[in-house]
């Protein structure tokens, strides 16, 4: 569990760093969402401490949560 948390902290630092370099807002999910899939490309993941990362998984995970939240929001209305 601690390793996963540590890895997530490193991933967040990486994202923050690249968002700033590419003039994107690291606090905006839509802009971070465009940076995450780059983790699967060698020219970017070689800068990560542990190498290759599956950047598309968090995107699908958060998109699923957002979709579920919209469904719940419509059901409550």
Question: pLDDT of 13-23, one tens digit each?
Answer: 777 877 888 88
Structural domain spans, the chain: 2-76
68-71 long-range contacts (CB < 8 A, ≥24 apart) are none
Residue 1 has pLDDT above 80, yes or no: no
Spatial neighbors of 39 by CB under 8 A, at least 6 apart, are 11, 14, 45, 48, 52, 53, 54, 55
DSSP symbol at 22: T
Express each pLDDT in 32-46 by its tens digit: 888 878 777 888 777
pLDDT digits (tens, 9 = 90+) for 50-72: 677 777 787 888 888 889 999 99
């Amino acid at each position: 569990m601690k390793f996963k948390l540590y890895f997530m902290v490193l991933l967040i630092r990486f994202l923050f760093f690249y968002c700033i370099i590419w003039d994107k807002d690291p606090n905006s999910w839509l802009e971070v969402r465009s940076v995450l899939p780059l983790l699967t490309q060698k020219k970017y993941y070689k800068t990560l401490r542990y190498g290759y990362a599956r950047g598309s998984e968090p995107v699908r995970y958060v998109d699923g949560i957002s979709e579920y939240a919209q469904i719940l929001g419509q059901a409550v209305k």
